[in-house]
Amino acid sequence: MPRLPLQDIRVVEIGVAQTAAFAAMLLADLGAEVIRVESTSYLPPGTRGVVARPSKEMIAGQVAFTGGYPDGEPGKRPWNRWANFNSTSRNKLSMTVDLKRPRGLEIFKRLIKVTDVLFENNAPATMEKLGAAYEDLVKIKPNIIMVRFPGFGLKGPYANWRSHGNQIDAVIGHELLRGYPDLDPTSSTSVFVTDCVCPAHGAFAAIMALHYRNQTGHGQLIEACATDTGLCLLGEALMDYSMNQRIQKTIGNQSPWGAVQGCYPCKGEDRWITISIVSDKEWKSLCRVMDDSSWSQQDMFGDSFSRWKNQDKLNVYISAWTKQHEQQALMLLLQKEGISAGAVLDQRDAYNDPHFRERKFFEKVEHEDCGIHRYPGMLWKLSETPVGIRKPPIRLGEDNEYIYKGVIGISDEEYAELEKEGHIGMDFIPEIL
């Protein structure tokens, strides 16, 4: 197997839910040895499940949020079966240690001595309270690279505010931009855009910091703030206010640039297609596909601006036409004419789509506690250093012995002591529900 780009890099991940986990996974996919530090004494919210030991009734009631468990069963170790956690936990190692206890913190700092990059996304004050802030860790490892993912930044009035992705989405203003004109924000579903965007920025910054360290020998602290990375995605609306004092409103599927722009019903139950027209040439192509329907020749649809002004009426006609067609066949027909169109796929469609199958995007993975399933695969295809799922999603504490003895250099006697003290294990203590 070719040598992977980050094969000599060791990363430690200590965090909650998605952000640090996603960033660390990206480096793990590129070959870094990623060690996730966990504890058997507490379960960070939304990390290995909403609760450690859910009932079948709870799983059935929360499947839309949790991502589910295989066959709807919690199993012997539910924390190893939660789809949301497993989606960002491939190609990693897991160790357990209680950082809230002095000996656990000492173990963690011994691990930092042999680590290149640390990812963490706890509330900012957490690491300071533990005695594991950047200022503490550089005393142990002077060239450590620490990537922190605070929701609102390490400084400022909101610095230590708690949040999830949907609160950040609201604070940056996206919540009022992504709905429909006739509905208020209470109708919007939760989105977690920054949970994906912020980790990608953080992983990129970590790789740049490694390059900088190779040149200078110095590490650094990286602040990958969720609100900052989220606000960058809304530059158009923010600049519109800055230059024109205009506050943009919700417009549903419409576009400020023209029409046709929307999601339209197709033949069958809950089948849809998206169509985007940005020029008169594309409009003429669409009219040709529609057999030059008489309604399309009306003056109100004669040019781009007229179609934009009358897009509500236009969408009624387009919807009546798309309803007559099967979504996949219509997508292929429109694409053949150079029109941007895409069938709206559900999860079943995506897993069975011939395009994704030919590209081998989904990879078959065997997991000791979950069985064999197809998992979403790599974000990149590298011609010289092919990447893939080398190791299934980590089970809690499954790599303890290797990390404690092989990485940190702990003796058999000390390992046994740490087991007795509750630092080392593969099961949450009974008190964790």
- Contact call for residues 130 and 99 (beta carbons, < 8 A): yes
Phi-psi region of 155 (alpha: psi -120 to 50; beta: other; left: phi over 0): beta
- In tens, the pLDDT along 102-158 reads 999 999 999 999 999 999 999 888 999 999 999 999 999 999 999 999 999 999 999
Say how many domains are in the chain. Answer: 2
Identify the band that residue 62 occupies on the pLDDT scale cut at 50, 70 and 90: low
Residue 21: closest CA among 5, 44, 52: 44
Dihedral angle over CA of 390, 391, 392, 393, nearest 10: -120
Q: Are residues 222 and 290 in the same domain?
A: no
pLDDT in the model for residue 123: 85
Band the pLDDT of 64: cuts 50, 70, 90.
low
CATH code: domain of residue 111: 3.40.50.10540
Tally of CA atoms within 13 A in the half-sphere of 150 that contains its CB: 20
**Whether residue 20 is found in the same domain as residue 164:** yes
In a domain, 298, yes or no: yes
199 — pLDDT class (breaks 50, 70, 90): very high
Mean pLDDT, residues 392-420 taken together = 98
Residue 403 lies in a domain: yes
* Residue 314 token pair: 């236009």
380 assigned to some structural domain = no
pTM assigned to the model: 0.93
Rank 27-41, 49-63, 188-202 by mean pLDDT and report only the highest. Answer: 27-41
pLDDT > 60? residue 63: no
Q: Are residues 148 and 185 in the same domain?
A: yes
Paired strand residues for 365? 373
Per-residue confidence (pLDDT) for residue 124, from 0 to 100: 83
CATH of the domain at 272: 3.30.1540.10
Q: Is the pLDDT of residue 61 over 80?
A: no
Distance CA 225, CA 242 (A): 22
What was the pLDDT predicted at 59?
A: 82
- DSSP codes joined into one string, 193-236: HHHHHHHHHHHHHHHHHHHHHHHHS--EEEE--HHHHHHGGGHH
Q: Is residue 369 part of a domain?
A: no
Res 326: pLDDT: 97
Which domain does 412 fall in, by range?
10-232+385-421
The answer to whether residues 38 and 176 belong to one domain is: yes
**Pair (88, 199) in one structural domain:** yes
Token readout for 74 is 């919690």
On whether both 147 and 93 belong to a single domain, the answer is yes
pLDDT digits (tens, 9 = 90+) for 249-269: 888 888 888 899 999 999 999
Counting beta carbons within 10 angstroms of the beta carbon of residue 318, is it exposed (0 to 12), middle (13 to 18) or buried (19 or more)? buried
In this structure, the answer to whether residues 89 and 204 fall within a common structural domain is yes
- Of 342, 317, 373, 392, residue with least CA distance to 71: 373
- 432 belongs to a structural domain: no
Query: Does one domain contain both 167 and 204?
Result: yes
Most confident of 57-71, 163-177, 308-322: 308-322
Question: Average model confidence (pLDDT) for the chain?
Answer: 93
Would you state the pLDDT for residue 244?
97
Residue percentage of the chain with pLDDT more than 90: 80
Please, is 21 exposed, middle or buried when counting C-beta atoms within 10 Å of its C-beta (0-12, 13-18, 19+)?
buried
Give the residue from 352, 376, 393 where a domain finishes: 352
Instruction: Answer yes or no: do 301 and 395 share one domain.
Output: no
DSSP letter, residue 418: H
Q: Each residue of 8-20: pLDDT tens digit?
A: 999 999 989 899 9
Q: Give pLDDT, residue 65.
A: 53
Same domain, residue pair 413 and 333: no
**What local confidence, expressed as pLDDT, does residue 57 receive?**
82
Cα 59-350-316 angle, rounded to 5 deg? 100
pLDDT for 142: 98
Q: Among the three residues 329, 352, 375, which one is the final residue of a domain in this structure?
A: 352
**What are 38's strand-pairing partners?**
96
pLDDT above 60: residue 392: yes
Q: 24 with 99, same domain?
A: yes
User: What's at 232, amino acid-wise?
Assistant: C
pLDDT at 430 over 70: yes
- Say if 395 falls within a structural domain: yes
Q: How far is CA 225 from CA 105, 192, 232, in A?
A: 26, 14, 11
Q: What is the pLDDT of residue 67?
A: 66
Q: Are residues 266 and 119 in the same domain?
A: no
Q: At what angle do helices 412-421 and 102-112 cross, to 10 degrees?
A: 130
Query: Is 374 a domain residue?
Result: no
Q: Does some domain include residue 392?
A: yes
